[in-house]
Amino acid sequence: MHTIAATTQRRRRPTVGVIAGWQFYGTMLTMSYLSPIYQGIRQAAYDLGCNLLLACGMGPSGQINEPLRPAWFDVIEDTDFVPVGPWNTHGLIIINPLQRPERSQAVQATRASGHPVIFVGSGERGPTIVADNVGGIYAALRHIVEHGHRQIAFIAGSQTDLEGDSGDRLRAFQAAMVEFGLPIDPRLIVFGRHVFTGGYEAMHRLLATGVPFTAVLASNDESAIGAITALREAGKQVPHDIAIIGFDDRIEGLLQEPALTTVRIPLFKLGYQALELMVRHIREREPLPELVQVPTRLIVRESCGCSQSAVLADTLEMIAHHPTEPTVTNLPAQAAQAMSTMLAPKMHGFTASEVSRLCQQLITAFRQSVQSARSVAFRTELAQVLKQVAAAGDDTHDWQIAISFLRDLVPRMFDPTLQPLAFELLDEARVTTSAAMRWQYWQYFNRQQQTNNRVGRLTARLLHTLAESDIYEILAHHLPELNIPLLWIGFFEAEDSDSVAWCRLRAVTASQQPVVRIRSRAFPPRQWLPTRQSFQLALIPLGGTGSEAGFVTFDASRLDLYGTITQQINAALNTARLYRAASEGQRLAEEANQLKSRFLSMVSHELQTPLNLIVGMSDLLLREITQSGNPLPSSIRDDLKRIYANARHLGRLISDVLDLASSDAGQLRLNCEIVDLGEVMRVVADAGR
């Protein structure tokens, strides 16, 4: 029965885990390469109705060159364990490169055990979905050559990733150079590790060689941006002195001055398709393909030498559509299909069928308004479409593509007498779309302001909190204001040699739930999960060692915020631990001080009794000798005097100790008496003889 239930669950709502070979957060912001991949995976999971566990690593520092430290499913060096692995998923999506051989070995062992795994990016044995690295590098190099460049340098990725994307792009560069009849100078090939500082250092090494070059092709955008920074510091202008092309099409490149020409990888599509393939494999036993290549495309901007700003490049991309020409016999349906084909890759909040439906409705309303000479239907439908697009978080500006496409179809769609009205409606639609985009911007700006203010209030309260219980209360109060419905915090507990065998899990945003202790690899607890709908959870490590190591779990809807909030939680918990340790230390010190005072008081009283006897007896002897008239030898009499004086001195010292003990207890009594300094000095002199 258990096997049947598990099979039914797998086919109905399978759980897929996602793990990357480096951190998702670095540290306050999402790493932009992983972010669209995760978005694509999330959208596919929503569309297909499956569960999702996202392992989101947190960088150990705020430095731009911080080490790569992924959230991982095993306890190994330079990783942070989170409970996302083969034991609580039906399949895993692994994003390459994995950076270390021990990580690769762990994943391959998982594959060998029969657990389904699909890789995003090349570098590992097994089913893989990857961008067309060869086609992208070839297109970029051809563009550089068309600008007249012959001495071209290459900033490769990582030397530890020669079986992955780094190696694929390096070999593609070398092959394309040969095809174009250009010499390959080994001194002009350097490695930049696909990071900003790596690209920066690589460019300095290229300049230091003294080998002339006029263009650079970088294996990714981040190293290209680092190289541009190094060139600027060296007094070189891009592209006037040296042209540069990147690879990835990250948003940072779009915002560069000059804007970075790059090869676009459809990262959202990579993630979406990886999840889609995995779910089909789990539900329908469809074999995972060994290799799926997703096309890349050269995005021409300014850094290559073309005079296309980021704005102009975006405009040209919108108007340079080349759909299949629809036939007159079935013009509306084919036009809707062609429009959907152009828009679907940009509409991440909709399925392809939903985009197709929106296009059909828009074309139908457009035809109806033109033919009836009444613009209400088209205006209303366009407003509804733009409203839905904005609500889904997509860019309303992209629907300018639809308007341009409709404008091209007007001569084939309407009689000449109706065409002026059609063009007039489309001109109005452009203004409407621009207004919708402006409204969307103000909505975004307003939400960001509110979010910043609320995060600021949360931060301020956490900074002044010293008790762990207060931290949980503050989070439970403020997170709903940020539209964060779920936060669980777990701390690991060891069992034998397994340091993460168990975890104590607290549902912070559901304070009525008791703290549970579960097997870490049995996460998530079933009693906390929805029974009739799928879940998407993001797991982020909490820094610490031993009993302080743990993780936080959020609903995956606000990945952009969770890095900041996790840092605040981590800092607040560390402060609470330090305060608790300091308070415990103070308590122990106070107890030790009290024990010391009691000890001194007891010992002092024990010493005073024999001392009083010595003082009294020596005083009696001295008086008796003086009164009897039978003097003792002077040496004996002097010894008795010293015994008497030193005993009294020691008695006063013991009294001082008792006074100090009384002072610690807040009971010190001060007596105002006349002090005979001569007597004091005589005692000192006698004691020193």
Residue-wise DSSP of 16-66? EEEEESS-SBSSSSB-TTHHHHHHHHHHHHHHHT-EEEEE--B-SSS-TTP
Instruction: Summarize pLDDT for 127-157 with one digit per residue, the tens.
Output: 999 999 999 999 999 999 999 999 999 999 9
Closest CA to 123 of 92, 154, 160, 91: 160
Contact 153, 189 (CB under 8 A): yes
Determine, yes or no, domain membership for 550. yes
Whether 64 shows a pLDDT value over 80: the answer reads no
Contact 481, 454 (CB under 8 A): yes
Same structural domain for residues 301 and 383? no
At 666, the amino acid letter reads G
Count CB atoms within 10 A of the CB of residue 194: 27
pLDDT cut 70: percent of the chain above it: 87
Same structural domain for residues 165 and 188? yes
**pLDDT at position 255:** 85
Q: What is the pTM of this model?
A: 0.82
Highest mean pLDDT of the ranges 137-141, 302-306, 607-611: 137-141
Determine, yes or no, domain membership for 582. no
215 DSSP β-pair partners: 152, 243
Residue 591 and residue 77: Cα distance in Å, rounded?
A: 41
Question: Mean pLDDT over all residues of the chain?
Answer: 87
Whether 184 shows a pLDDT value over 80: the answer reads yes
Determine, yes or no, domain membership for 583. no
Same structural domain for residues 547 and 637? no
Determine, yes or no, domain membership for 592. no
Sign (positive or negative) of CA dihedral 475, 476, 481, 483: positive
Work out the widest C-alpha separation in the chain, in whole angstroms: 153
Same structural domain for residues 608 and 559? no
Same structural domain for residues 311 and 334? no
Same structural domain for residues 171 and 85? no
Residue 288 and residue 117: Cα distance in Å, rounded?
A: 9
Same structural domain for residues 110 and 145? no
Determine, yes or no, domain membership for 282. no
Contact 121, 95 (CB under 8 A): yes
Same structural domain for residues 471 and 421? no
Contact 59, 69 (CB under 8 A): yes
**pLDDT at position 668:** 59
Residue 357 and residue 623: Cα distance in Å, rounded?
A: 122
Nearby residues of 282 by Cβ (< 8 Å), 6 or more positions away? 10, 11, 14, 16, 90, 91, 116
Per 3-state DSSP, the chain is made up of helix, strand and coil in percentages (nearest 5) of: 55, 15, 30
Residue with tokens 């609903």: 555
State which H helix or E strand residue 485 sits in. none
**Domains in the chain, number:** 4
Residue 48 and residue 39: Cα distance in Å, rounded?
A: 14
Same structural domain for residues 299 and 156? yes
Same structural domain for residues 656 and 611? yes
pLDDT cut 90: percent of the chain above it: 59
Same structural domain for residues 42 and 80? yes
Sign (positive or negative) of CA dihedral 517, 519, 525, 527: negative
Same structural domain for residues 262 and 310? yes
**pLDDT at position 431:** 93
CA torsion 188-251-400-388 (nearest 10°) is 150
Determine, yes or no, domain membership for 175. yes
Determine, yes or no, domain membership for 587. no
Looking at 415, 450, 485, which one is the last position of a domain? 450
pLDDT band at 678 (very low <50, low <70, confident <90, very high): confident
**pLDDT at position 28:** 40
Determine, yes or no, domain membership for 363. yes
Secondary structure (DSSP) of 581-636: HHHHHHHHHHHHHHHHHHHHHHHHHHHHHHHHHHHHHHHHHHHHHHHHS-PPPHHH
At 629, the amino acid letter reads G
Range of the domain at 615: 597-688
